[in-house]
Structure 1
């Protein structure tokens, strides 16, 4: 841990966050910030330690600096809480701090020390299911923007969005573009899409400024061996789904801890209790649009002047996957009246 030179008494560390700042405001300030300074108003006030450890627990990887009324004896706990540096008040004795930090840097070994960093202890005992339950309890009634921002804080660099660029996809993708347009978007190209869907994908990607749309394809060798005539959907739609959807998406999604979907509670009776954070197949699913109803979805199209899918006014599949009347096991039906999907993956798309 580094010791930074004191600032003049009249100066305040740039962007310093008081230790009594509400956690939600601190989390908001941390988004995109490479450095945060937490100011301790009094050495007896431990809230700064809590803020630092929670930020680390939730994935903040930037530099954390402690500033304010601190004592050299607190150096070890500052380090255990996740601080990288200490900026002293004017008038503090740097020699005492340097002596304490030298001792800590010599003997502090988190791998063997029973007093491991506090955020490591908390993270180690929280299962994936517990984490999803904690997040859902906190954000279940939150607006989509808040849910998605929280998801990015909780799973930095390990989160992706699933999208078929279907009838309502523009709403969820517009939301994603506002939070982080570089987030990976997994688009499953089954080889059976309408040309209008592929054109819409490209148009929407450019319009929203999405920079990381990943095209997921079935394995060429598997497809050649199992469906050489591209007609498996006629005789065995479930096997077709497994070949063209389940397996390729399973491989692509394995690189992420959390997947964002466009599912909403109003879409089907089976989704009436849809959580905003849940665990499916060993991964967290984030459903930021769960709380929206059909009118609110339409309003977002209007408010943000989002382009409609060229086939949205026709009785086509929600996934707009292809011309067959029962492509991959789902019957042709209006875009916003589709029932439960036959596979775990088609349920995740918008």
Structure 2
């Protein structure tokens, strides 16, 4: 395997060369580059392969100047950038230089036949298997422990893994933060909302307002099975006698059906929520689905700071003392300032609805 070189530029892009979007036609790029000693090709989306094709074509056509990649590029694409003819990449703010450097030296499967005698990944699929979800989770935990949430989300979307990804959101008190990062990476990513039929009206209106504010284009409303609901909870009062069964009916079972097409669910869970979440990893596999928790290490102060900086809309119940918001029958204003989830199932020892737990781990209400 040949040694690949790629410079990582962390300073602001001051007069590095002519900046062109990767959507610019090759003929126009060639014309504009005649007297240029450096070109900066700006990627709009990490899934867009046109920048790699442009770089390869420019090199094949004899361009000898510097080629610099900028915009939406991923650390996992470092080797492919180098193989395609790029000399350098502008790292986005907050990028982990160590991760970029390590992956440049690690990933050796090209997407295009840019090295003589090397088959690209698309021509090796019979021999190259995608890593299992447990292996991917371990990789994410090891490589992205210090990465910002957007970088982690982009990582799980790397084309090399081919994962089908969705976001799971309650549109609750802290939901705006993870959804903000998702929207900035790809506003078309599916967002699954479990409409239990017992949400606060404020939550339903907030879902619409926040989705519009962030530009989310694929919010999917997931409902309980109508026949199951009529059979098991005809009076809508199952929560009184068996809250676990109610959660199974209205959340766990519907999510099981809705999440079946996806390999990954992005969540907004955090360690400061305590309980089973206190040791939450960035990535874990639950019931055959990888759960990505990009905000796992965030504190309440981190959340509040991000909301303020980004001017994100707040859930209307926050002003009434609700710090964690689920269904109205089982949610109260916080009763313990040190425990953000203390208003959930406050009269019992139940801590989770069950969607993030193996069935055998659920706690039965007292």
Q: Which residue of 2 aligns with 1:137?
A: 142
Instruction: Supply the distance in 2 between the matched residues of 1:16 and 1:51 (Cα, whole angstroms).
Output: 18
Q: Which residue of 2 aligns with 1:186?
A: 192
Q: CA RMSD for the aligned pairs?
A: 3.7
1:345 partnered with 2:345: no
Bigger relative contact order, structure 1 or 2 (CA pairs below 8 A, ≥6 apart): 1
Q: Using a 3 Å threshold, how does the CA distance of structure 1 residues 131 and 193 change in structure 2: closer, same or farther?
A: same
SS in 2 for 1:186: strand
Q: By how many angstroms is 1:273 displaced?
A: 2.3
1:299 partnered with 2:305: yes
**What is the aligned length?**
277
Q: Using a 3 Å threshold, how does the CA distance of structure 1 residues 242 and 39 change in structure 2: closer, same or farther?
A: same
1:225 partnered with 2:231: yes
Out of 268, 271, 288, the position equivalent to 1:265 is: 271
Q: Which residue of 1 aligns with 2:213?
A: 207
Q: Which residue of 2 aligns with 1:243?
A: 249
TM-score after normalising by structure 2: 0.65
Q: Using a 3 Å threshold, how does the CA distance of structure 1 residues 14 and 82 change in structure 2: closer, same or farther?
A: farther
Instruction: Supply the distance in 1 between the matched residues of 2:148 and 2:207 (Cα, whole angstroms).
Output: 26
Q: Using a 3 Å threshold, how does the CA distance of structure 1 residues 142 and 228 change in structure 2: closer, same or farther?
A: same
Instruction: Supply the distance in 2 between the matched residues of 1:40 and 1:241 (Cα, whole angstroms).
Output: 52
Out of 170, 187, 194, the position equivalent to 1:164 is: 170
After superposition, the C-alpha distances for 1:180-212 in whole angstroms (9 at most, x for unaligned) are 000000000000111111000000000100000
Q: By how many angstroms is 1:225 displaced?
A: 1.4
Q: Using a 3 Å threshold, how does the CA distance of structure 1 residues 317 and 305 change in structure 2: closer, same or farther?
A: closer
Instruction: Supply the distance in 2 between the matched residues of 1:24 and 1:315 (Cα, whole angstroms).
Output: 40
Instruction: Supply the distance in 1 between the matched residues of 2:356 and 2:61 (Cα, whole angstroms).
Output: 60
Say if 2:202 and 2:317, in contact at 8 Å, map to a contact too.
Answer: yes
SS in 1 for 2:158: helix
**Larger deviation: 149-158 or 338-347?**
338-347
Instruction: Supply the distance in 2 between the matched residues of 1:222 and 1:188 (Cα, whole angstroms).
Output: 15
Say if 2:79 and 2:105, in contact at 8 Å, map to a contact too.
Answer: no
Name the structure where helix makes up a greater proportion of residues. 1
Q: Using a 3 Å threshold, how does the CA distance of structure 1 residues 275 and 196 change in structure 2: closer, same or farther?
A: same
Instruction: Supply the distance in 1 between the matched residues of 2:210 and 2:86 (Cα, whole angstroms).
Output: 47
What are structure 1's unaligned runs of at least 5 residues? 18-22, 42-46, 57-63, 85-108
Instruction: Supply the distance in 2 between the matched residues of 1:260 and 1:311 (Cα, whole angstroms).
Output: 24
Q: By how many angstroms is 1:342 displaced?
A: 3.1
After superposition, the C-alpha distances for 1:42-72 in whole angstroms (9 at most, x for unaligned) are xxxxx9997561x65xxxxxxx251xxx6xx
1:319 partnered with 2:319: no
SS in 2 for 1:313: helix
Q: Using a 3 Å threshold, how does the CA distance of structure 1 residues 346 and 286 change in structure 2: closer, same or farther?
A: closer
Q: By how many angstroms is 1:8 displaced?
A: 4.1
Q: Using a 3 Å threshold, how does the CA distance of structure 1 residues 344 and 311 change in structure 2: closer, same or farther?
A: same
**Larger deviation: 7-16 or 283-292?**
7-16
Q: Using a 3 Å threshold, how does the CA distance of structure 1 residues 8 and 283 change in structure 2: closer, same or farther?
A: closer
Structure-to-structure mapping, 1:73-84, within 5 angstroms: 74-75=116-117, 78-79=118-119, 81-82=120-121
